[in-house]
Amino acid sequence: MSERPSLDTLGMWEAAAALPEQLSGALQAAGDAFAGTAPLGGGACRAVAAFGLGTGGMATAAAAALSAADLAVPFWRGDGSTVPAFVGADTLVLAVSPSGDTAETLGATAEAAARGATVVAVGGEPGGALARLAVDAGFAWCPVRAGGAGRADGAGRAGGAAGEGESVARAALGAATVPLLVALTRAGLRPDCTAAVQAASEALARRRDALVAPGSAAAELARQLGRTIPLVYGSAGVAAVAAHWWKAQVNLNAKAPAFAATLPGLTHDELAGWGQGGDVTRQTMSLVLLRHAGEGPRAAGLFAAVRAATDEVMADIFEVQGEGDDDLTRFFDLALLGQLVSLHLAAREGVDPGPVPAVEDAQAAASS
């Protein structure tokens, strides 16, 4: 990658640039993982329950948004270890942990399996905690690798230096999301996604090549954001998930604060909060609006209202347009751009994007 800085001990730039290959690789990995199983849930699932934190949580949110127009059953998402009372034999449970060892997800997965739910686990490597749980309980499991689910190169392997597996796994958004879409298809809950994923992978490969070139849109947006705090807004659906992904990438890679919110919800509360304090916020905060061609009919008017209400209280307002012919491509287009912007922000400050000691310390403290 032409603009990759020397300070990148865990290969986060390569992991980000592998997103197009993640999509196609994950399609193959999911096909292999689920090929020998009967139709998931026997075609009788009455609800979907998904568990995941971090990138795993983002993958469940993306799968829910991408399937909302097709699902005829409720899709519930949880980010802890508590399993709701409705989960039972007629529930399809999606358990996602890209690293394969998220404690809360493992606990919820074990409980759901004990209740007789049809469980599909996504994440980690053979021999990891989630894979072992799948073997012991006899449910389907699909591996996740940040370098592309079908690859076994350095960018995709867990292991190496301390914290390397977790840090690289957090870049595996595509590799964690596609198997969920395949699982929903196998359960008879949504149309087959094969052609759409292949088309998205090809489109993203072209987009990736442009975004990693010198002077790219990602590098320029990072330059313009500078040291301001990004506030990222997206409309309900895939842009809302992408907005929270942007926020998380800035937190993790640039080690900097960032915030996200969703339209139309934010126009019912958060927007009122910009009525005071403009003399402070216009020095410290920038607004990033994530747009795309598939927005709802009211989105344009709401974005215009947000611009009018925040114009005097932000250092700057940037509008980003997700490219693609469908929501799948638009989502991953926005996700790739946000990931690369965060890496450029890290590079500008001389920050190593890989290690996340604050996160590791918090997890260690919770386990002690």
For 30-47, the pLDDT digits (tens) are 999 988 666 766 668 899
Task: Please report, rounded to a whole number, the percentage of residues in the chain having pLDDT higher than 90.
Answer: 83
In this structure, is residue 367 part of a structural domain?
no
In this structure, is residue 365 part of a structural domain?
no
* pLDDT tens track for 238-286: 999 999 999 999 999 999 999 999 999 999 999 999 988 899 999 999 9
Please give the average per-residue pLDDT across 232-236, as a whole number: 97
What CATH number does residue 299 fall under? 3.40.50.10490
User: H helices within the chain, ranges in order?
Assistant: 12-17, 19-34, 55-67, 103-114, 129-137, 164-169, 173-186, 194-211, 217-225, 238-253, 278-284, 299-310, 327-348, 357-367
Structurally, the chain folds into a number of domains equal to 2
Q: By three-state DSSP, how is residue 96 classified?
A: strand
pLDDT at position 166 over 90: no
Q: How many residues belong to the chain? A: 368
Low-confidence winner among 27-41, 85-99, 191-205 (lowest mean pLDDT): 27-41
- 55 & 105 share domain: yes
Q: CA 259 from chain center: how many Å?
A: 15
- 113 & 58 share domain: yes
Please give the average per-residue pLDDT across 219-244, as a whole number: 98
- 129 & 235 share domain: no
pLDDT score recorded for residue 364:
86
Is pTM beyond 0.85? Reply is yes
Domain stops at, among 186, 205, 224: 205
Label residue 160 by pLDDT band (50, 70, 90).
very low
- 30 & 130 share domain: yes
Label residue 4 by pLDDT band (50, 70, 90).
low
Mean pLDDT over the full length of the chain: 91
Q: For residue 138, what are the domain limits?
A: 12-205
In this structure, is residue 71 part of a structural domain?
yes
- 19 & 55 share domain: yes
C-alpha closest to that of 219 among 316, 318, 337: 337
- 250 & 173 share domain: no
pLDDT score recorded for residue 70:
93
- 124 & 166 share domain: yes
- 232 & 257 share domain: yes
In this structure, is residue 356 part of a structural domain?
no
